[in-house]
Amino acid sequence: MSEEKGFVMKEEAETKSDATTSAEEKMFLPEINFATFVVSLNSSALMALGLVADPITKKTTKNLELAKQTIDILGMLKEKTQGNLTSDEENMLRSVLYDLRMLYVKEKG
């Protein structure tokens, strides 16, 4: 009888391990670098503008104050990193800022 328990326990352990692996596979996080940081802030601003649904609630909500604050953070980041970014990083940040500012003006108006 103890052999059966051992088998069941092993099977349960394998099932738990498989579940953990599946959860880890679903929770893929990109490498942290300047580009992914800017993209993360961009996504946050788009959600605050009500243009992208929250990935958890699947609902869109508009919070223009939060959107403005996030855009201002990106603007401050641009100022503070001036001269320290690659040309690709600088172009990406400038483009994201321009697009978000235009979207903000459109949503505000």
pLDDT, tens only, 36-54: 999 999 999 999 999 999 9
Q: Which residue reads 């690659």 in tokens?
A: 86
d(CA 109, CA 97): 18
| SS3 (DSSP) at 26 | helix
- The pTM score is 0.73
* Higher per-residue pLDDT: 70 or 1: 70
Summary mean pLDDT of the chain: 85
Q: Where are the domains of the chain?
A: 1-30, 31-108
Calculate what percentage of the chain has a pLDDT beyond 90.
70
pLDDT at residue 30 above 80? yes
Scanning 1-109, the segments in alpha helix (DSSP H) are 2-26, 34-48, 64-80, 87-108
**pLDDT computed for residue 28 by the predictor:** 81
CB 97 within 8 A of CB 76: no
pLDDT score of 96 more than 60: yes
- Joined together, the tokens standing for residue 1 give 């009888």
Task: Report pLDDT for 2.
Answer: 47
Query: What confidence tens digit (pLDDT) does each residue in 58-80 have?
Result: 999 999 999 999 999 999 999 99
Nearest-5° angle of CA 33, CA 69, CA 31? 15
